[in-house]
Amino acid sequence: MTTGAPVPLAAGFGDLSELRTARRAHGGRWLAAALILAVLALLVRAFARGQIEWDYVGRFLTVPVILDGIVATVVMAVCAMALGIVLGVAVAIMRLTPNPVLRAVAAGYTWLFRGTPVILQLLLWFNLALVFPVIGIPGLWSGRAVDLMTPFFAALLGLGINQGAYTSEVVRAGLLSVDQGQYEAAQTIGMGRMTALRRIILPQAMRVIIPPLGNEFIGMVKTTSLASVIQYPEVLHNAENIYYANSRVIELLIVAGIWYLAVVSVLTPLQMLLERRFARGVAGGRR
């Protein structure tokens, strides 16, 4: 680079410094937007004229049974996801230990619970009493399986244990993404495996783990609807109960749909907050 007096341009190159750059027209974008708006307008018109009584949707949106249902949905999603994360982290760590027994147990768990439909697992847990009429710890405590396996408990086990199998793979990918040198540095300052995982490896793996985990959590909010088959009173189950009585099938399905969208819409910014928290120290992350 030379500085100082501007170098004159060679012959044939015009001086452009006085000219303005025109903005691009983007005609295609305008056309696409217009087309999409037209299709949306048609859809809205179709639904407005179709056989949907929208005042029913408004009226049932906030009835106590639906509100109880959405609370039950969120509670189950949070509890099952919490169980899934605890199991997933434990299983991911087991899969990365040098201990072959733990590795085999972890791989077997993932294989079994990822390999069967979650609805089948829910039905199995709910009907556990058919296999084991009495469950408990021999000599300490026992109870009848029918009383113990409430819809809540069966749904928690079914959804949480299934989620753990998927989460373990997400966590494992995160642990593998952390440079081996970080683990070696932790060892050289006298850390054991578990301390190194907790203090050094997992916090850095979180940056990789959180986006897919947010995805899994959003999936879980909707998968709780499967628990309606074992009488867990989540929002879809309650909406169904109402339309069995009043036959407003579509109206109540729309009510449930609005609530699912609302919950998921709240979760997305929460995920972004978490992502920023764990971007510490990374170039471009929050300082």
Partner 1 sequence: MNPVPARPLVAMRDVAVAFGPFQALRGVSLDVEAGQVLCFVGASGSGKTTLLRTVNQLVPVDRGAIYLDGELQGRRRVGDRLHALGEGEIARQRMNTGMVFQRFNLFAHMTALQNVTEGPVQVQRRRPAEARAEALDLLARVGLADKAGNYPAQLSGGQQQRVAIARALAMKPKLMLFDEPTSALDPERVGEVLAVMKRLARSGMTMMVVTHELGFAREVADRVVYMDAGAIVESGSPAEVLGAPREARTRAFLSAVIA
Q: Which spans of this chain sit near partner 1 (rule: CB under 8 A)?
A: 179, 181-182, 184-193, 195, 199-200, 203-204, 278, 280-283, 287
Partnered with residue 18 across adjacent β-strands are none
Minimum CB separation from partner 1 for residue 279, in Å?
9
- Give the nearer residue to partner 1 in terms of CB position, either 26 or 199: 199
Minimum CB separation from partner 1 for residue 198, in Å?
9
Minimum CB separation from partner 1 for residue 165, in Å?
28
- Give the nearer residue to partner 1 in terms of CB position, either 258 or 279: 279
Q: Phi, psi (5° rounding) for residue 20?
A: -95, 150
- Give the nearer residue to partner 1 in terms of CB position, either 109 or 278: 278
- Give the nearer residue to partner 1 in terms of CB position, either 14 or 181: 181
Minimum CB separation from partner 1 for residue 203, in Å?
5
CA atoms of 66 and 233, how far apart (whole Å): 10
CB 172 within 8 A of CB 95: yes
Partnered with residue 141 across adjacent β-strands are 137
Minimum CB separation from partner 1 for residue 206, in Å?
9
Assigned token pair, 164: 């753990």
Minimum CB separation from partner 1 for residue 268, in Å?
24
Number of residues in the chain? 287
- Give the nearer residue to partner 1 in terms of CB position, either 182 or 241: 182
- Give the nearer residue to partner 1 in terms of CB position, either 172 or 207: 207
Minimum CB separation from partner 1 for residue 97, in Å?
11
- Give the nearer residue to partner 1 in terms of CB position, either 19 or 283: 283
Minimum CB separation from partner 1 for residue 92, in Å?
19
Q: Is residue 40 classed exposed, middle or buried when 0-12, 13-18 and 19+ CB atoms within 10 A define those classes?
A: exposed
- Give the nearer residue to partner 1 in terms of CB position, either 103 or 114: 103
